[in-house]
Amino acid sequence: MNQDVRAKLLELQSEFARRAEATQRDLQQPVPQDWDEQAQHRQNDEVLEGLRTEARYELVRVNDALARLAAGRYGQCTRCGATIAAARLEALPQADLCTTCAELTAG
């Protein structure tokens, strides 16, 4: 089972790294000379910044999950120590909080 989890996390790691790199490349595109196009370009950059930030954040979470897996703490809530439900880990392999703690920190 740990190998399956590790494979899934490594796949996510690769996906989020690709997303972060792709948005970084897009953000480095030259700004158009036309004013209307510049305005559109700036709006696009705001969206790309958000996507890059999200990809980087999730990449950190995946790397943390891989570290917990290597340390034998994967599936254990980092806040309360409870076991994270298998269904939650299946849906969100990088989850570090049980459902209860996740709800407490979200609200």
Question: For residue 13, what pLDDT is reported?
Answer: 98
- Are 53 and 7 in a shared domain? yes
30 and 12 assigned to the same domain: yes
Amino acid identity, position 65: A
Tell me the pLDDT tens digit for each residue of 36-78: 777 776 778 888 899 999 999 999 999 999 999 999 999 999 9
Is 96 found in the same domain as 106?
Answer: yes
* Degrees, nearest 5: CA angle 35-36-38: 60
pLDDT attached to residue 99? 96
pLDDT for the residue 63: 98
Mean per-residue pLDDT, 28-39 = 73
Q: Residue 30 pLDDT > 80, yes or no?
A: no
